[in-house]
């Protein structure tokens, strides 16, 4: 994952490997970001290139934190 700062806002851009291995992780993460509470807002997704752009919550809990509770 990479942080970017477009127009003063910070977002996180996450890229998963292409192919079957990356697709599974991409689908899990995208689904989690859209259905679980207390996760970053999903701002954009590119299914072809396995890219997710989400809001940066700074030091807030991560999706992994929510799933492991």
The number of beta carbons lying within 10 Å of the beta carbon of residue 42 is 16
Q: Name the pTM for this structure.
A: 0.75
pLDDT at 1: 65
pLDDT in tens, 11-64: 889 999 998 888 999 999 999 999 988 788 999 999 999 999 998 888 777 767
Look at residue 4 and tell me whether its pLDDT is greater than 70.
no
- Name the band, by pLDDT with cuts 50, 70 and 90, for residue 6: low
pLDDT at 3: 62
Distance CA 39, CA 6 (A): 20
The number of beta carbons lying within 10 Å of the beta carbon of residue 26 is 22
The number of beta carbons lying within 10 Å of the beta carbon of residue 43 is 14
For residue 25, report the phi and psi dihedrals to the nearest 5 degrees: -65, -40
């Amino acid at each position: 994952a990479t942080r970017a700062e477009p127009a003063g806002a910070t977002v996180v851009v996450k890229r998963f490997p292409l192919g079957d291995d990356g697709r599974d992780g991409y689908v899990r993460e995208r689904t989690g970001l859209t259905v679980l509470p207390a996760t970053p807002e999903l701002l954009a997704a590119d299914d072809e290139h396995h890219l997710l752009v989400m809001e940066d919550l700074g030091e807030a809990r991560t999706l992994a934190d929510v799933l492991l509770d």
